[in-house]
């Protein structure tokens, strides 16, 4: 298992009869496939989906047992779709996260003798193009055209299958390059060498991974109003219990722009008292709170517990309160 | 029972064998005696104390069963002493509050023929003097002198007992005027006609008055540091649960000026979930929290429960969280 | 001019010699073209771009005078690209916003005799597919396949040009349907009838539209740390001046997940004192603040000015402070 | 000049013709006189007043040029009177602070042969009694009575003047013991050896002491409402500018208990940008703000300037904002 994925084998989530089927954002060769392979148990089966919604629907309908989908900074899109699909409809649970470093291979057909300077048109996903433009300008030239495709893997696939696909090279993942068998002119291409995409492993509800001390919890919270005061009050529910956030994103609710929900990753596990207290506070004061999972952090970074927010602090305080209520004030 | 006192008969607090003994800030004739009389059961006995500390000590040692002491805006002092004495030492509990409107009588000896314009020196407590100065200047004249005394009742007592007491008239309570039997030149004197002092009824711990929906809770809280950030964090423990404060006062800790405790009255009863959650939050994050009592408000003003902070909101949120923890996420 | 676009004619931003060139997210027929047409001056020229980055680059390089790009809830993607491209590189300024209601037409080739029940494969952008799935399932059937394309307009274009494009119908905008001249089987298709996309009009810097009392200001703010405390402190810079937010989105900084920037729309104009004070507060305390424009709200909803935050309140308070500093304390 | 007083010679505040007259809380021999002597210029004259109000009134009417009055943790009371008298009526300004360590001498008449174990009744101010009770119980015995007096100095004066004063010993300041010439049985008596009282030097307005980098500013602020939310918002005006508080005390407004004002000491000088911004924020949002002075801290502890709140940070941020407003957005 790679150090950039958090689930342990066997994969967390409800047990499965037979081999595990994992849906992912296809086709084969995407970074999402790479993510899925990082946690793939020996006898599991990978099932490509045409979109994030489809991948998650496959889990909801039982066509797949798990899904791997991008949730942050995806090179091939899908992040908003992931957040929104998880937030609505039949419950699903995040049970792990996976990091994939983002770098591209520039590939031509196996029989092509084109070199960097000969390239006229490059096919790839527009997000991939955005993350390689500096390199392309410097190494291929400023005049080369971009032909957008629905994924980097799709670009590679088409290049091999169809000489009339409209471009003479692709920028795709290393996995795609191997899979589709072209000639690689350059690899490890990334304008930002630290770029990575975060994926989540999603399962049907029923089983929350045990706390490890280095966990994340994902929730979706709708605000009661659209003022900054409402957002401040919501954040106060976290800070009053010393709960840190590692991600917060606003999502418009219902196609309007006058009401917002927030997708939030917080540091900690739902079984910890401070997280429980914060969730109770959210549920009391916000029109909608959806629990989307507690799972080990991929970076294994242990949660910094602020003074007065450990489980024992809650227990001590409640014991004191019981004394007070019994008339034995101290 | 007067509408300006909150305890109901029999007085709250642990039961007593024999007649109830109530200590108060003496001597007889003080506004504190007036406060005590507003809630005095038929067969109770009033015991004057020479100070707030003495009155409270009498309850601690068993010399008295209850004490009535000023806690806010006292005309005769003692407020800081009350706050500090309650906050340290053997536990005591506030079980009721009493309001006394503050107005003074100007009295000379019974045999005196002095009139307003003849007065040269007036004896009274310096706080009383401060609250009648405008009236005195307008009705007696700007040249009259103030002779400070330890209480207004003491002033009245000395005027009657000692012709050489050093003043020829006193400003005292109406009760004192009756008790010590002087000739009243004017009464109802108060530069601010709305002035009043708040007193509390204190008992040994053991019995918290039942919640009425219009309650106050008094606590003393020490801060972990001396920055405004620490105060903000402390207040956040209240606002995150929608708990309003009706009084907050800083008290220096241990004779230094680098650390503070706060004496706080909050709206609500310790048996309410939002108050319990706030107290647990304080206990977790502050070096010291002392519960000083939950008791009915003297003004009977019902607590405004903010959205999401009623007992049922806590129960609903916790039931939801139990579902989440059981893997039945919704 | 439509009531769903905010710029007034002539378009805000620096003056232009000759006819105005407006870049948009192409090809012709996208919802982005629709947005651009809502504010198009008589003699202006529309220039399609292959992506949001390209459209904005055309303004930066002078190939276009303005760009129209999606900024929120786009049916065809691009929102993150818009936020990130505006936030980095050569300065650009938002000078207006445009709302486009989102509904689709289902179109076959002009000579096709296929009806709803005959359709096997529908080409469209995956976001469009997500927003019409319920309708498609109910009216076409659950078995129909989705063939993803780079935009809805691209789908329409290919359907007309290439009989072997791989699908027999498309879901596209009404504009595309007219432009590419197919046969429309159904229109006004939208699972959420209120869905809309928000676009912004972007110009080179140099000229901020005058305040109207119903304005928005867009900024990008990087946080000093990754704790929820840092986010709370940042929001406090707004709430301390009574400035409301109408949008907040987190953006990971530099490809990592340990540091965040926030893209924010606030209610008000940069020339208002409370907005100025908030921006000064942000600039003081955050490692990076980027001003991205003040412009009239498309919905003309006037800003609710909270008590104590109008320009006159700032002027009065500063005049008082000047008196204090001059030793004339009041 | 003592290290426990902050004013420098000549005393800050408006210049005076002739010798400086300083009012203090008399009679001679109080701790307040001690405070005044710590900063007394060579040719100044001390004028005892019968109360804090009288002392401050003497400055208002021109009978005195300065006043020294207790403001925190006073052994002889007066603190609330100081806060309230400064907060209302003709403006006065605090220009310095003075610390006096609190310890008592136990004194009998010069010709008395009473020893510790012989004492039956001790005269002193009730606050002094509270601060020496442990010592008295241990060294004199638990049976000794307390006879309250208006000040410790008054107790000493009466003991010498009147054999029938009602007590056979006094607890007073060391200064009183010298002044009134009794026989000292013990000195340095203090249950808390660190106890001290803070006094302020008050002058007519007109001249604010120059900033030293180690300053305090005192203000009185009334809240717009009585909820904890209003207090949080008020504190936010400080925290948004990184201004720390070193004292906060609630004061009931107008004799009622439903509205509060706060007396606040903040760390910093009114001429600093962050303090100016906080005061402007308070003035905008609170019904009443009263500036009561900026003056050097007696402990010389330099203000910790938080990141982003130095004068240069404000200047830089405003210069950036000017660029933004000029259309040169960066």
Output the CA angle B142-B147-B149, nearest 5 degrees: 140
Residue B258's pLDDT band (cuts 50, 70, 90): low
Residue C280, chain D, CB below 8 Å: the answer is yes
* CATH 3.40.190.10 boundaries in chain D: 1-100+197-207, 104-189
Chain-centre distance for alpha carbon C203: 13
Residue A312, chain B, CB below 8 Å: the answer is no
Q: What is the mean pLDDT of residues B66-80?
A: 80
Residue D2's pLDDT band (cuts 50, 70, 90): very low
Nearest to A252 by CA among A243, A244, A261: A261
Q: Which residue has the tokens 């793939």?
A: A40
Nearest CA in chain A to B234: A240
Residue B54, chain A, CB below 8 Å: the answer is no
Torsion of CA A85, A87, A93, A95, to 10 degrees: 80
- Which CATH fold topology does C1-101+197-205 show? D-Maltodextrin-Binding Protein; domain 2 (3.40.190)
Residues of chain D positioned with their CB less than 8 A from the CB of B195: 255
| pLDDT above 70: percentage of residues in chain C | 92
- Which CATH fold topology does A104-189 show? D-Maltodextrin-Binding Protein; domain 2 (3.40.190)
Residue C226, chain A, CB below 8 Å: the answer is yes
Helix (H, G, I), strand (E, B) or coil at D175: helix
* Residues of B (93-132) whose Cβ lies below 8 Å from D: 102, 126-127, 129-130
Residue B270, chain A, CB below 8 Å: the answer is yes
Query: Regarding predicted confidence, which is higher, A236 or B312?
Result: B312
Nearest CA in chain B to A282: B317
Mean residue pLDDT of chain D comes to 89
Is the CATH number of domain A208-313 3.30.70.260?
yes
Q: Report the pLDDT value the prediction gives residue C1, as an integer from 0 to 100.
A: 36
Size of interface C-D (CB pairs under 8 A): 113
Segments of chain A with pLDDT less than 70: 1-9, 74-78, 226-228, 254-258, 329-330
pLDDT in tens, D134-174: 899 999 998 898 887 778 998 999 999 998 888 999 999 99
> Per the CB < 8 Å rule, is A321 touching B276?
yes
Q: What is the mean pLDDT of residues D116-145?
A: 90
Q: Report the pLDDT value the prediction gives residue A77, as an integer from 0 to 100.
A: 59
CB atoms within 10 A of CB C30: 29
Q: What is the mean pLDDT of residues B86-90?
A: 91
> Per the CB < 8 Å rule, is D206 touching C308?
no
Alpha-carbon distances, residue B72 vs A106, B67, B192, B302, C323 (angstroms): 78, 15, 16, 21, 34
Say how far apart CA C148 and CA A91 lie, in whole Å: 26
C22, two tokens: 């407006």
Please state which CATH number belongs to domain D1-100+197-207: 3.40.190.10
Nearest to B132 by CA among B118, B162, B152, B114: B152
CATH, domain D210-314, list 3.30.420.10, 3.30.70.260, 3.30.2320.80, 3.40.30.10: 3.30.70.260
What stretches of chain C show up as alpha helix (H) in DSSP?
31-38, 52-61, 79-87, 126-130, 133-139, 152-161, 174-180, 228-239, 273-285, 311-325
- Write the DSSP assignment of A219-259 as a string of letters: EEEE-SSSSHHHHHHHHHHHHTTTPPEEEEEEEESTT-SS-
Torsion of CA C223, C224, C230, C235, to 10 degrees: -50
Statement: residue B9 has pLDDT above 70? no
CB atoms within 10 A of CB B51: 22
Q: Report the pLDDT value the prediction gives residue D7, as an integer from 0 to 100.
A: 58
pLDDT in tens, D33-91: 999 999 999 889 999 998 888 899 999 999 999 999 999 876 665 577 899 899 989 99
Provide the CB-side half-sphere exposure for D91 (13 A, CA): 18
Picking from C240, C271, C314, the nearest residue to D240 by CB comes out as C240
* CATH 3.40.190.10 boundaries in chain C: 1-101+197-205, 104-189
Mean residue pLDDT of chain C comes to 89
Provide the CB-side half-sphere exposure for A320 (13 A, CA): 20
Q: Report the pLDDT value the prediction gives residue A256, as an integer from 0 to 100.
A: 56
Say how far apart CA C318 and CA D277 lie, in whole Å: 9
Residue of C238, C324, C327, C328 to mutate, interface with D, max D Cβ within 10 Å? C324
Helix (H, G, I), strand (E, B) or coil at B207: coil
Mean residue pLDDT of chain B comes to 89
Q: Report the pLDDT value the prediction gives residue C42, as an integer from 0 to 100.
A: 86
Q: Report the pLDDT value the prediction gives residue C140, as an integer from 0 to 100.
A: 96
Q: Report the pLDDT value the prediction gives residue D53, as an integer from 0 to 100.
A: 86
C114, two tokens: 């296929």
- Write the DSSP assignment of C279-320 as a string of letters: HHHHHHHSSEEEEEEEEE-TT-PPP-PPTT-SHHHHHHHHHH
Q: Report the pLDDT value the prediction gives residue C219, as an integer from 0 to 100.
A: 96
Q: What is the mean pLDDT of residues C10-32?
A: 89
Q: What is the mean pLDDT of residues D251-274?
A: 82
* CATH 3.30.70.260 boundaries in chain C: 208-330
Distance from CA of D249 to the nearest CA of B (A): 5
Output the CA angle D175-D177-D182, nearest 5 degrees: 160
Q: Is the ipTM of this complex over 0.85?
A: yes
Please state which CATH number belongs to domain A19-100+196-206: 3.40.190.10
Q: Report the pLDDT value the prediction gives residue C148, as an integer from 0 to 100.
A: 72
Statement: residue C225 has pLDDT above 80? no
Residue C74's pLDDT band (cuts 50, 70, 90): low
Residue of C12, C276, C284 to mutate, interface with D, max D Cβ within 10 Å? C284
Q: Report the pLDDT value the prediction gives residue C80, as an integer from 0 to 100.
A: 78
pLDDT in tens, B40-62: 998 899 999 988 888 999 999 99
C208 within 8 A of D323, measured Cβ to Cβ: no
pLDDT in tens, C227-236: 657 888 888 8
* CATH 3.40.190.10 boundaries in chain A: 19-100+196-206, 104-189
B30 within 8 A of B76, measured Cβ to Cβ: yes
Distance from CA of C119 to the nearest CA of D (A): 52
Output the CA angle A323-A324-A326, nearest 5 degrees: 65
B92, two tokens: 């005591």
pLDDT in tens, B315-325: 999 999 999 99
Q: Please count the residues of chain B.
A: 330
Nearest CA in chain C to D276: C321
pLDDT in tens, C53-69: 889 999 999 999 999 99
Place domain B208-330 in its CATH homologous superfamily.
Answer: ACT domain (3.30.70.260)
pLDDT in tens, D167-218: 999 999 998 999 999 999 999 999 888 888 999 999 999 889 999 999 999 9
Q: Report the pLDDT value the prediction gives residue A199, as an integer from 0 to 100.
A: 95
Please state which CATH number belongs to domain B1-100+196-207: 3.40.190.10
Q: Report the pLDDT value the prediction gives residue D164, as an integer from 0 to 100.
A: 87
Residue A150, chain C, CB below 8 Å: the answer is yes
C128 within 8 A of C75, measured Cβ to Cβ: yes
What stretches of chain D show up as alpha helix (H) in DSSP?
31-38, 52-61, 79-87, 126-130, 133-139, 152-161, 174-180, 228-239, 273-285, 311-325
> Per the CB < 8 Å rule, is A255 touching C129?
no
Q: What is the mean pLDDT of residues B20-31?
A: 92
């Amino acid at each position: 298992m790679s150090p950039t994925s958090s689930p342990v084998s066997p994969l967390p989530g409800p047990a499965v009869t037979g081999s595990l089927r994992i849906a992912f954002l296809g086709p084969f060769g995407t970074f999402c496939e790479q993510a899925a392979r990082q946690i793939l148990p020996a006898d599991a089966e990978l099932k490509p989906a045409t979109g994030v919604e489809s991948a998650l629907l496959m889990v909801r309908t039982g066509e797949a047992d798990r899904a791997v989908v991008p949730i942050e900074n995806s090179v091939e899109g899908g992040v908003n779709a992931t957040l929104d699909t998880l937030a609505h409809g039949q419950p699903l649970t995040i049970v792990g996260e996976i990091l994939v470093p983002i770098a591209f291979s520039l590939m031509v057909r196996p029989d092509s003798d084109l070199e960097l300077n000969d390239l006229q048109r490059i096919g790839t996903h527009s997000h991939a193009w955005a993350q390689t433009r500096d390199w392309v300008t410097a190494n291929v030239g400023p005049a080369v055209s971009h032909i957008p495709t629905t994924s980097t893997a799709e670009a590679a696939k088409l290049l091999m299958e169809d000489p009339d696909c409209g471009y003479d090279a692709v920028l795709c993942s290393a996995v795609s390059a191997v899979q589709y068998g072209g000639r690689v002119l350059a690899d490890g291409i990334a304008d930002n060498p630290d770029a990575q995409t975060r994926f989540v492993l999603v399962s049907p509800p029923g089983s929350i991974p045990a706390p490890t001390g280095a966990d994340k919890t994902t929730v979706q919270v709708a605000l009661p109003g659209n003022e900054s005061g409402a957002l401040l009050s919501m954040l106060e529910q976290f800070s009053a219990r010393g709960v840190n956030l590692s991600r917060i994103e606003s999502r418009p609710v219902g196609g309007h722009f006058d009401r917002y929900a927030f997708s939030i990753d917080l540091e900690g596990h739902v079984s910890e008292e401070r997280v429980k207290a914060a969730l109770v506070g959210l549920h009391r004061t916000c029109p909608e709170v959806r629990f989307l999972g507690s799972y080990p952090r991929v970076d294994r970074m242990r949660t910094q517990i602020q003074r007065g927010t450990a489980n024992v602090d809650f227990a001590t305080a409640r014991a004191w309160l019981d004394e007070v209520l019994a008339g034995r004030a101290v």
